[in-house]
């Protein structure tokens, strides 16, 4: 890891109508638009879906790092995240993020250890730690048969 602080720079370019082009160094540009809930087409990434995707992605990357450091064997993890957007005191904001994670591990894995690592991943995710919304983790550990 590089010394802190880290700086992340993104640019966006848009016209009165159409997509917004979001760019960052060394990564492919993405096209965004308002979500269907705000009158957009609903078939592109939006700021709202990108934020919820960042929560899910950060959870998995945090889990991966902690599992590696803890020497936890695992096969795969699935994460479904939901962000709840509400109007609070005349301001629209995300009030809650729910992460539903399913971890697939070999049948001889310590399930309690696996649950602890999932919880630690949720606690250490830098994206959700940077947001004021409440958080909830629903974690499932599934033992896979070793054949």
Domain total of the chain? 1
- pLDDT by 10s per residue, the chain, length 147: 899 999 999 999 999 999 999 999 999 999 999 999 999 999 999 999 999 999 999 999 999 999 999 999 999 999 999 999 999 999 999 999 999 999 999 999 999 999 999 999 999 999 999 999 999 999 999 998 755
- Residue 146: predicted pLDDT: 59
Which pLDDT does position 1 carry in this prediction?
84
Side-chain-side CA neighbours of residue 107 (13 Å): 4
Residue 27 forms part of a structural domain: no
Q: What is the structure's pLDDT at 145? A: 77
Tell me if 94 is assigned to some domain: yes
- In a domain? residue 58: yes
> Residue 103: which domain range?
47-144
Per-residue confidence (pLDDT) for residue 45, from 0 to 100: 97
CATH code of the domain in which 123 resides? 3.30.300.20
pTM for the whole structure: 0.93
Q: Is 40 domain-assigned?
A: no
Residue 68 confidence (pLDDT): 98
- Burial tier of 145 (Cβ tally within 10 Å: 0-12, 13-18, 19+): exposed
Task: Give the containing element (helix H, strand E) for 97.
Answer: strand 91-106
């Amino acid at each position: 890891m590089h010394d802190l602080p880290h700086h992340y720079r993104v640019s966006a370019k848009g016209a009165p109508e159409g997509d917004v082009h979001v760019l960052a160094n060394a990564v492919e540009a993405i096209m965004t638009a308002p979500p269907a809930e705000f009158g957009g087409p609903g078939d592109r990434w939006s700021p709202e879906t990108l934020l919820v995707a960042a929560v899910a992605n950060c959870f998995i990357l945090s889990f991966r790092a902690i599992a590696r450091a803890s020497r936890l064997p695992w096969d795969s993890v699935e994460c479904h995240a939901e962000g709840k957007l509400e109007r609070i005191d005349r301001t629209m904001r995300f009030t809650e993020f729910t992460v539903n994670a399913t971890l697939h591990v070999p049948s001889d894995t310590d399930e309690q250890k696996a649950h602890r690592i999932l919880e630690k991943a949720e606690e250490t995710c830098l994206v959700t730690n940077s947001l004021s919304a409440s958080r909830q983790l629903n974690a499932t550990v599934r033992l896979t048969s070793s054949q």
